[in-house]
Structure 1
Amino acid sequence: MFRYRTLVRSISFYAQGNQVNIDHLYRYNTGRFLVNEEYELAKRYSPFDIDALCRIVASLPSVNSPVCQVVKKEGGYNKALLMTAENGRMVIAKVPCRNIVPRQYGTASEVAVLRFVKYHSPTPVSEVLAWSANGDNPTRTEYIILDPSPGLQLSEVWDDLEEPQKSILVRKFAELESNLAAVAFPGYGSLYFRNALPAALQESKHRIIDVDETYCLGPMYHGSWPGGFAADPEHYAQFSGPWKSLTALAHDFVNQGIFQIEHYKSSYAGRGPHFGTPEEHIGTLHKAKEVMPLLTELPALERHGGPVLCHPDFHPGNIFVCRQDPTRVDGIVDWQYANILPRFMNVRWPLFLTMGCDAEDGVGQEDAMCEAQRRHEEAMRIKCYEAALVKSHMEPYLDLPEPDVAVRKLFTLCTDTYRDGILPVRDCLVKLFQYWKQLGLSKECPYHFSAAEIAQHEGQWTEYQDWLTLRESTHELLKSNDGGWIPPGVDFEEAKNRHQMLYEHFIRTKTKDMPEKEARKLWFFRERG
């Protein structure tokens, strides 16, 4: 066994193809922000002891060699460090941004999910080599050390695949998803090891539901938990689960939304029209709380309401395929925030089903042909995916009639009125009221909307949809997202200038009908303060 010496200066550090210093590893460098940049960068600044982390990696039995190179690969929530030892062995060290990922809970649950998926399903995931969910260790941070995923990211090879190859990949992916969803759980929540619970759960064993001798379900913490990312998770522990029934889950999801409005008001995302006063939010959510227990009796929810574990973000960058045979899935990465939820909430279309040729701006004949081809290929892939789910005895819950869409959205949106306003939840409530007799429930709808209220809502809903369309177009023009993030490779100064022009045009247009102060609230990016 070698003796590892503390010689960080002998290690080469790289990011985005360039050699960098140690402090660069701790800072966020993958993109810029149009608004609140100082705040967003500070939130993602996560210093730790890189020397201690290198010693831990070097001492692993499967490595047993000093680290000589570290390459930072960064996401919005974590630093992923590709670490190479002198003997050529490579590992991934995943370090969460401490002001974003819930302390202890995020790491403890992610590791439990990775181990569970690896040994209870055919879904290929990386082996966890070492981890700590407590930042009070020599590295001064939580971390997960993993084997790198083999193969290539699907995003690298998708455009080069023939359509029959894509269909094969879609079917295999559906089989993996079905096998994972077939695993039974005794309730809803986040997965943890029974012998490695976060400190607060060790003292409150009544807050867990045993799965087996190794695993249990515990509180579910996620990206929109009340107070934002840096809040104390125990502040809303009474609404975080786990839950043994869909009725209990629905009750607490609504209470999460109410808790957010009562204690933290709203997020800093751009507010749409008719956002609603705090009183309107709470009144709307109380209507949801009344109706959701009744909806759990629906046959569709009885069929599709069982607890399932699904990956939270199936986009092509998280899927690795075999280099020699790109129709074979060799790895699925990024299981952070993977929770056990009702199937009708957890199952969604994988993003790669709708990936196709990208037409350039314009309306030429070639553009129209490409769009028609894209739509045809997308439709065939979706049919292939649905057929594969049925073959795997997993009835799809994706193409839904309007009442079922309203039910699903109500369950998924009621936690987020602080961010999205009251209109999305109210639209679900209006549709359920209108379709109540078709639902076939034994009890009457517990709330009422008059014809005048419905007409007013529909007018506001149309205005809100127009605002969403304009927001999406603005994001496309700026290459941004809801937080004003601009990806690397985009000229940030040009994006800032374009943003200012769009903002000024928006304000000029809106101030024809409202005061400038109200118009500014409708813009898609909000400065803090």
Structure 2
Amino acid sequence: MRDGFQFIGRIPYPVTEPKHLVVASEVATMDFLRLHGIPVPKIYSYSATAENAAGTEFIFMEFIRGTNLGDVWYNLPERARITVVAKLVELESKLFALEFPASGSLYHTKDLPDGFSKVDVPIAKFDRDGDFCIGPDTTLRMWYGKRGDIQIHRGPYTEPAAALVAGAKKEIAYLTKFGRPLHPFQHMWREIYNYQKQSPSDHLDSLEKYLQIAPYLIPHDNEVLARPTLRHPDLQPNNIIVSDKLEITSLLDWQHCAIRPLFLQCGIPNSLQNYGDAVSESLEVPELPPNFDDLGEREQFEQAVLLRRRQLHYYYIAKTAQLNSVHYDALAHDFSVVRRKLFDHASEPWEGDNVTLKADLIYLTENWSSITAPQSSARGDSKVPCPISFTENEVAECERLHSAQVEADEQLQTCRDVVGIGPEGWVPLEQYEETRQRARKLKAAALEAAESNEERTRLEEHWIFGDFDEEEYS
């Protein structure tokens, strides 16, 4: 402004849906968090409808001064990174301590339109009772594409079982009405299936099996793990503002924030986790290999990067055990990762992948007694037989395809590293032309290595970084 005052004006992307609920929920979430001492920008004004002079939904919020952690994160020394991780965990402990009567997303009661279910949120120590409520879950996958037109229950959920199955029921409703054969969205997978489109009927079968086993995923041996818990939807460096002394001054971007049972919310943030690595999962103190000084320059670089990933994983777990015991207990609970994987893979929009969820279900059947024993013991029940099964041939074929997909994912990551892009394909403007040139060289090399005209045609048609119409996947 002319007097030097600065603020942020945000409007939703054209593809953001449902705009009214998403904007209203983000505003209410930030207002609620500020009331409880969580550092988030102050909301000055907002409109959850487009019926205003601007012709769009908007949020006017505080401009937070400081350094975006993403700008300095990769240059911080080890001790500074540990300091930041500790402060993040401390902030998370405050989030995990907040109490809610249901799962879903937060709203100001006045902003939730008629026709939507809601559960009031009482606020201790504040004269604001009746101001906040929990309503429909605004998570993107619940509304993606044509899914937003389907009349299904998206919350609030007063029971953990309802939160567990809502995403799967949404996807069943979508595929029943709109499902059609698709090539896997992940282009690198298409060769595995001889470039044939995959039928949604196989995934529908897996979703129905998920609904059968979902009640047994609730950890009845520890009621605290079912408590509705709020967590930042995308806790990564670019959403964190820090001071010169690395104090966290604000957490940004609460769009699509949801409250879920703790056993579904727990986990290491993607920017800090190193799952799949034996050293990280063993929780050993990470160190450089003893022969580090004898390695070549590139190998030393790779080991240094690996050490960094292991350190972040290790220190996040260590600080969580020290500062956020509720979260640590949820992380350490038997088969914690399996539960979240099953929930996520059953809730995600289907994109031609019939294998990932099925592989999770097969793993569950193979470990059924170990997973369900604590729950059965807590309820005083005898051992419960697994309600789903797979033939030997189904298991063998699924494992073959799943291994092939994992290998293809590794190849894709190598290609991304060569080109210099992340999972979403985004690059800084100043690097765009150089990155495009590397992508052209990679494609030219792949076409030259092709052994037949048919293979070259397939590569052209299904090139991993090629443009294509994503509309059929929505």
Q: Indicate whether the TM-score tops 0.5.
A: yes
| Cross-structure match for 1:261 | 175
The CA deviation at 1:448 is 0.9
Contact kept in structure 1, 2:104 and 2:258, CA below 8 Å: yes
The residue type paired with residue 386 of structure 1 is I
Residue among 103, 109, 113 paired with 2:25: 109
1:204 is the counterpart of 2:115: yes
Contact kept in structure 2, 1:413 and 1:424, CA below 8 Å: yes
Contact kept in structure 1, 2:184 and 2:353, CA below 8 Å: no
Q: Which has the higher strand share?
A: 1
In 1: Cα distance, 2:38 partner to 2:310 partner: 26
Residue among 304, 313, 326 paired with 1:382: 313
| Cross-structure match for 2:199 | 277
| Cross-structure match for 1:243 | 157
Residue among 319, 322, 335 paired with 2:254: 335
In 2: Cα distance, 1:484 partner to 1:374 partner: 21
SS for the counterpart of 1:131 is strand
In 2: Cα distance, 1:368 partner to 1:496 partner: 24
Mark the runs of 5 or more structure 1 residues left unpaired by the alignment: 1-84, 357-362
The CA deviation at 1:482 is 5.5
SS for the counterpart of 1:431 is helix
In 2: Cα distance, 1:517 partner to 1:497 partner: 17
Residue among 143, 149, 153 paired with 2:58: 143
Bigger Cα displacement from structure 2, 283-292 vs 479-488: 479-488
The CA deviation at 1:223 is 2.4
CA deviation string 1:176-205 (max 9, x = no partner): 0011111111111111001222xxxx3225
Alignment of 1:316-395 (within 5 A): 316-323=237-244, 325-326=245-246, 328-353=247-272, 365-392=296-323, 393-395=325-327
Contact kept in structure 2, 1:284 and 1:425, CA below 8 Å: yes
In 2: Cα distance, 1:219 partner to 1:313 partner: 19
Bigger Cα displacement from structure 2, 88-97 vs 217-226: 217-226
The CA deviation at 1:485 is 4.5
The CA deviation at 1:172 is 1.4
Distance 1:509 1:490, change over 3 A: farther
In 2: Cα distance, 1:319 partner to 1:116 partner: 18
TM-score by length of 2: 0.80
Distance 1:379 1:403, change over 3 A: same
SS for the counterpart of 2:272 is helix
Distance 1:152 1:402, change over 3 A: same
CA deviation string 1:55-94 (max 9, x = no partner): xxxxxxxxxxxxxxxxxxxxxxxxxxxxxx1111111101
| Cross-structure match for 2:71 | 156
The residue type paired with residue 120 of structure 2 is D
The residue type paired with residue 389 of structure 2 is H
CA deviation string 1:24-81 (max 9, x = no partner): xxxxxxxxxxxxxxxxxxxxxxxxxxxxxxxxxxxxxxxxxxxxxxxxxxxxxxxxxx
1:224 is the counterpart of 2:141: yes
Q: Which has the higher helix share?
A: 2
CA deviation string 1:106-144 (max 9, x = no partner): 100000011111112x32111101110111100111111
In 1: Cα distance, 2:262 partner to 2:159 partner: 13
| Cross-structure match for 1:494 | 437
Distance 1:171 1:390, change over 3 A: same
Contact kept in structure 2, 1:210 and 1:216, CA below 8 Å: yes
The CA deviation at 1:173 is 1.1
Mark the runs of 5 or more structure 2 residues left unpaired by the alignment: 123-129, 275-285, 287-293, 377-382
The CA deviation at 1:494 is 1.9
The residue type paired with residue 297 of structure 2 is E
| Cross-structure match for 2:409 | 468
Contact kept in structure 1, 2:163 and 2:260, CA below 8 Å: no
Q: In the comparison of the two structures, how many residue pairs are matched?
A: 425
Bigger Cα displacement from structure 2, 429-438 vs 273-282: 273-282
In 2: Cα distance, 1:507 partner to 1:495 partner: 19
Distance 1:99 1:456, change over 3 A: closer
Bigger Cα displacement from structure 2, 177-186 vs 443-452: 443-452
Contact kept in structure 2, 1:192 and 1:217, CA below 8 Å: yes
The CA deviation at 1:411 is 0.6
Contact kept in structure 1, 2:102 and 2:134, CA below 8 Å: yes
The CA deviation at 1:236 is 2.7
Distance 1:450 1:336, change over 3 A: same
Distance 1:214 1:187, change over 3 A: same
Contact kept in structure 2, 1:510 and 1:519, CA below 8 Å: no
Contact kept in structure 2, 1:189 and 1:340, CA below 8 Å: yes
SS for the counterpart of 1:96 is coil
The residue type paired with residue 202 of structure 2 is E
Distance 1:334 1:420, change over 3 A: farther
SS for the counterpart of 1:124 is coil
Contact kept in structure 1, 2:139 and 2:257, CA below 8 Å: no
Distance 1:518 1:304, change over 3 A: farther
Distance 1:160 1:142, change over 3 A: same
Distance 1:331 1:261, change over 3 A: same
Residue among 3, 8, 13 paired with 1:97: 13
| Cross-structure match for 1:414 | 346
The CA deviation at 1:412 is 1.1
SS for the counterpart of 1:174 is helix
SS for the counterpart of 2:347 is coil
Residue among 207, 212, 217 paired with 1:295: 217
Distance 1:102 1:304, change over 3 A: same
Distance 1:494 1:371, change over 3 A: closer
The residue type paired with residue 348 of structure 1 is G
Residue among 80, 103, 108 paired with 1:188: 103
CA RMSD across the alignment: 3.2
1:305 is the counterpart of 2:226: yes
Contact kept in structure 2, 1:187 and 1:242, CA below 8 Å: yes
Distance 1:184 1:237, change over 3 A: farther
The CA deviation at 1:519 is 9.5
In 2: Cα distance, 1:296 partner to 1:176 partner: 27
The residue type paired with residue 413 of structure 2 is E
In 2: Cα distance, 1:341 partner to 1:420 partner: 27
1:455 is the counterpart of 2:396: yes
In 2: Cα distance, 1:113 partner to 1:257 partner: 26
In 2: Cα distance, 1:269 partner to 1:522 partner: 12
In 1: Cα distance, 2:115 partner to 2:25 partner: 17
In 2: Cα distance, 1:498 partner to 1:405 partner: 39
* Percent identity of equivalent pairs: 23
In 2: Cα distance, 1:92 partner to 1:131 partner: 11
